[in-house]
Structure 1
Amino acid sequence: MKILLLEDNTKLSQTISKRLALKGYKVDSFSDGQKAYDSISNGYNCFLLDINVPNIDGIKILKKIRDYYTEVPIIIISSTVELDIIKEAYDYGCNDYLKKPFFIDELEIKIEKLCKITNTIIMFDQNYYFDFKSSLLKIEDQEVRLTKKERLLLNLFVTKKNEVITYVAIENYVWEGNFVTLESIRSLIRRLRKILIKDYIHTVVDTGYIFKI
């Protein structure tokens, strides 16, 4: 899972990043609002935002994120107690709010709950599983190493299992916001289907795909 962290307290940012890295998550951390703002489209499936940061505040970044991602979880981490600001954050699509100071365990629980990941191993059935931490796919006692894009696509599918994943969502996450043709997406889907053997990936006509497990 790829997470964007915006936090201008260096010590707190490092603590959060190290803790989440131990869970196998990839964390891009920013202390400057403008730099975080410019990176929104780089394929994240979770956002952790402080409000009072240099150049562009977290609320404006929250609004911009919702232009790219309608469903990706956004957690506000802030020391503010101003109800108007907290209400504004929820009005613009914040999923949860964590007031500083907080325990890192509490943040970790919220991330796992919102992203529907309760552990690093996702079982497809008795003989298939995918380990987020090692990015290892195991199929009937055979370990399969995936390419970067295959791994990112499978990450996206198992994070949003049994939900429709649009072409745009795949472009944003797997290609990190860079332009990609529909044929390239379909080619990657074909490769992953061949690896998985079983028919987990279903096409949603003119929309995208759904990973049914």
Structure 2
Amino acid sequence: MKILLLEDNQKLNEIITKRLKLKNYNVESFTDGALAYEKITEGYSCFILDINVPNIDGINILKKIREYYEVIPVIIISASVELDMIKQSYDFGCNDYLKKPFFIDELEIKIEKLCNIQDNKIFFDENSFFDFKSATLVINNQETRLTKKEKLLINLFLSKKNQVITYETIENYVWEGNFVSLESIRSLIRRVRKILIKEFIQTVIDTGYIFKTI
């Protein structure tokens, strides 16, 4: 399981990372909120976020995560005891809140309870899956490594299976908010459709697309 850890206290960051790696978790740790923010689409199964970190705080990162991932667990760790801050964390979709200082065992228990729910491989039919770890699509035992934008698009589709995804959502997620022409989006869709072989991606006229799975 791949975990993103955001904690700006270097010593605590190293302690948590070491303990979790001893549990055979794949941990990628950050002390800067902006760096973590750029990585949230990299196929994590669990997020552990401090609130008060440099550049982009944990609450804003939580909000961004919840734009695209409804079920991936987020654990907030913070020294704040302000009720408004705790309420805000839950309002924006955190799954649990751990107040500092805490025993690392407490964090491990929460991870085991909340986060061991997603495999690295996400199947969308019996012969097709996306491997988050290697960023590859496997269709009928044929592996295809994806470009960054192809991976982001598949990530988005799999986080919102059987839901309509608008052109604007694709632009914001895949192009990270930068302007892109409708033809560029359609070109990316054509490439991914060709890789998928089957008609998983269906067009919703004048709106966007829907990723139909079993």
**TM-score normalised per structure 1:** 0.69
Shift, 1:70, TM fit: 4.3
Matched residue, 1:142: 142
Over the matched positions of the two proteins, sequence identity in percent amounts to: 54
Distance 1:143 1:94, change over 3 A: closer
Counterpart check, 1:177 vs 2:177? yes
User: Is the CA contact (8 Å cut-off) linking 1:3 and 1:44 kept in structure 2?
Assistant: no
Matched residue, 1:29: 30
Shift, 1:7, TM fit: 2.2
Cα distance in 2 for residues equivalent to 1:208 and 1:111: 31
- Alignment map for 1:53-202 (pairs within 5 Å): 53=53, 58-59=58-59, 61=60, 65=63, 70=67, 72=69, 75-91=75-91, 93-100=92-99, 101=102, 102-104=106-108, 106-107=110-111, 110=114, 118-202=118-202
Shift, 1:161, TM fit: 1.8
Distance 1:151 1:205, change over 3 A: same
Distance 1:69 1:80, change over 3 A: closer
Unpaired segments ≥5 residues, structure 2: none
For residue 186 of structure 2, what is the amino acid of its counterpart? R
Q: Which deviates more from structure 2 when the two are superposed, residues 130-139 or residues 104-113? A: 104-113
Which secondary structure does the structure 2 equivalent of 1:52 belong to? Answer: coil
Cα distance in 2 for residues equivalent to 1:16 and 1:55: 22
Which secondary structure does the structure 2 equivalent of 1:103 belong to? Answer: helix
For residue 29 of structure 1, what is the amino acid of its counterpart? F
1:137-187: CA deviations, max 9, x gaps? 222222222222212211221232222323233223322333222211111
Which secondary structure does the structure 1 equivalent of 2:155 belong to? Answer: helix
Structure with the larger RCO, 1 or 2 (CA within 8 Å, 6+ apart)? 1
Give the paired residue count. Answer: 197
What is the aligned-residue RMSD (CA, Å)?
Answer: 3.7
User: Is the CA contact (8 Å cut-off) linking 2:163 and 2:211 kept in structure 1?
Assistant: yes
User: Is the CA contact (8 Å cut-off) linking 2:161 and 2:212 kept in structure 1?
Assistant: yes
Shift, 1:8, TM fit: 1.4
Which secondary structure does the structure 1 equivalent of 2:188 belong to? Answer: helix
Cα distance in 2 for residues equivalent to 1:161 and 1:56: 29
Cα distance in 2 for residues equivalent to 1:43 and 1:153: 15
Distance 1:181 1:103, change over 3 A: same
For residue 211 of structure 1, what is the amino acid of its counterpart? F
